[in-house]
Structure 1
Amino acid sequence: MAQWRCDIRVSWRTQLFSLLVHGALILLILLSPWPDVYAPIWLVLMILVVFECIRSQKNISSRQGLLKLLGERRVEWRGREWLMLKNPWMPRFGVLLSLQQVNGKKRCRLWLASDALGNEDWRHLRQRLLYPQSADDGDG
């Protein structure tokens, strides 16, 4: 039985941050003085940054769906059960979960930005991760 569950949405702040970082890199490449002999390198760098920006936006968009905390450092995400390998890193604007699939070798790092959840869900998630022993007290 899940101790906590929430439907995770796309994080607009994370998408904006990614766009700003990639945009700054593109501007840096465009505004840097490049000798003519480095034109192929300039073009390859531009293509790489643009494709990395697209890949980053797709990754951010794919991090949505139902997340359940099951207890004993277990999480259900995308219909699979995962173990938390490390204690979650929790700055005030997000949570980073290092996960490994139960009965498998697949690992992933799941970044949950604070704007991807409602305020109440965000507070409950942080409480459950900070104080896992109080999760058995039955409020939620």
Structure 2
Amino acid sequence: AALTKLLAYPDALRDLEECLRLDPKFVKAYSRKGAAHFFMKEYHKALDAYTKGLSIEKDNEECVRGREQVVAKIMDSQGQDVDEEQVRHAMADPEIQQMLHDPQVKLFLRDLQENPQEAQKAMKSDPKLQEVVSKLVAAGIIRTR
């Protein structure tokens, strides 16, 4: 918590990962991890951390509020100009890079530009693709209008 207050988010995340390694059910660590990722504009990771916390304690107030804050920020950013810093940061994330190199995701992204109806059908029929697309939207890689 102290590292987060000092704005030392990468250090805070390292400490939180260690906390979760020692106690994977420590919900407060997930809420703090979500907050650190949120302040680093890693909205896809913040969403994931809050969701994991809620899977352990479904009514945890900090995780509920944090998740709502992330979703609101993602929705709000869709109507604004592209945040180049957020996109650069997301593109440097190994998880995002792996998603973007997946052949199915590449096909989906191409269809999204050339044949949106086909992309919509593919997403509706594949829960894994839905999850990937949600993370790419949260990361600022895919924008909705």
Q: Shorter-chain-normalised TM-score: which range?
A: under 0.3
Larger RCO, structures 1/2 (Cα 8 Å, 6+ apart): 1
Normalising by structure 2, what TM-score? 0.24
> Bigger radius of gyration, 1 or 2?
1
- Specify which structure has the higher proportion of helix: 2
